[in-house]
Amino acid sequence: MALDDDSQQPKRIKTLQTNLPTDIAAELLLRLPVESVLRCKSVCKSWYSLIYDPQFVKSHLAISTRSNNHHRLIYNTKVLRDSRQILKLKTCNLRDVLYDNSINNALDIDYPLRDPLKYVYAIASCNGLLCMAIMDELLFIWNPSTRKSYRLPPTGYRKEFGSYVLYGFGYDESTDDYKVVELSFNNKDKRETLVKIYSLKSGNWKKIDAIPHCFTNTFLGNFSNGALHWVTTKGLGPWAIISLDLAKESFGEVLQPLYDEGDKDLRLGCLNEWLCVLCDYRGTRADIWVMKDYGVKDSWTKLVSIPYLNVPWRERLLRPLCMSNDGKMLLQFGFRKVIVYDSKNNSYSEIQNLDRCLGACTPAAALGDI
């Protein structure tokens, strides 16, 4: 159906265009899933313009983010085919996972630069966009809903024995810009971590001041309140939560909650709009804290204390993936199990039909362009 020739539009659609006020059309479209909205862009010129208006895109994202119905579970898995391990990226409706406790109708994702023999993982999701890495060699930004993607130029990082690279992905609201962060360090020389930032607007990588911390078990930066966050240590010292403000492009430190005594590991996540800390008491239980007022130490609130399942040490709780409005949490245990934990009645159930989960994220569907 041509968009540039109204004479080709069917009469029924021309009548809809004339009689339905724009504000009412916008209210209706805002409540549709992305797939339906994208089909509606071919109705007429005015709807096409409305759907790609930046303010409409932001309003649709805000509504989608608040509803479990518009989120997807995207996860990595391995399958055996012709005596070979094939890597796959799959997706299914998040609401089905949370309330049916099963992976139903999971679909393979035909992502850009697909290679079934190379490991691909989602670095992070932000505003419905995914930052993807293939074997720490290629980076690209991808919108699974619109199928649009953008490949980043090489960072110049060269992997050597004992070296590590970590990433982060987030949105700088002050400049309406998406930024990818690379942190690299050598395990033999833990004095500093080299930092590069890529701006989608400028199209360039640039170095910023290094930080004298050794990054430990938080491989992916967690985006919350305009900043990326990692758990770090200073040598054998205590845990620290380091933040990188994407607008100022400078580092800071987030004050932590008052944990109980005992040996512990810390991992980060995001639940709704809150920065989240998972305090793992080495296989006995895990406390989940959220910072309800960002930057205010006293606003840390313990949501739940989760007793461990009877699983081997390698299946310890890795991170929280998401939380529904009625208190259901999706949690990843090791690289095999995903469970739903109901914080209201302190019960949990393992997700069925999920043989192996190497990594997962739960982005909202979005119209955002790249």
pLDDT tens digits, residue range 103-113?
A: 777 888 887 77
pLDDT tens digits, residue range 47-79?
A: 888 888 888 888 888 888 877 667 888 887 777
What's residue 280's pLDDT?
Answer: 86
Average pLDDT, the chain: 80
Q: Indicate whether 46 pLDDT > 80.
A: yes
Higher pLDDT, 13 or 59: 59
Q: What's the mean pLDDT in 284-307?
A: 92
* Max mean pLDDT range (60-74, 151-165, 237-251): 237-251
Q: Indicate whether 236 pLDDT > 60.
A: no
pLDDT tens digits, residue range 335-354?
A: 777 888 888 888 888 887 77
Q: Indicate whether 219 pLDDT > 70.
A: no
Q: To the nearest whole percent, how much of the chain has pLDDT over 90?
A: 19
CB 211 within 8 A of CB 194: no
What's residue 170's pLDDT?
Answer: 94
* Max mean pLDDT range (85-89, 285-289, 343-347): 285-289
What's residue 205's pLDDT?
Answer: 94
What's residue 98's pLDDT?
Answer: 86
Q: What's the mean pLDDT in 272-295?
A: 89
d(CA 158, CA 181): 16
d(CA 288, CA 267): 10
CATH architecture, domain 66-361: 6 Propeller (2.120)
Higher pLDDT, 185 or 219: 185
Higher pLDDT, 99 or 309: 99
pLDDT tens digits, residue range 163-173?
A: 777 889 999 99
What's residue 235's pLDDT?
Answer: 55
Supply φ then ψ for residue 173, to 5 degrees.
Answer: -65, -30
Q: Indicate whether 146 pLDDT > 50.
A: yes
Kindly indicate the confidence band of residue 162, based on its pLDDT and cuts at 50, 70 and 90: low
Q: Indicate whether 10 pLDDT > 60.
A: no
Kindly indicate the confidence band of residue 255, based on its pLDDT and cuts at 50, 70 and 90: very high
What's residue 332's pLDDT?
Answer: 84
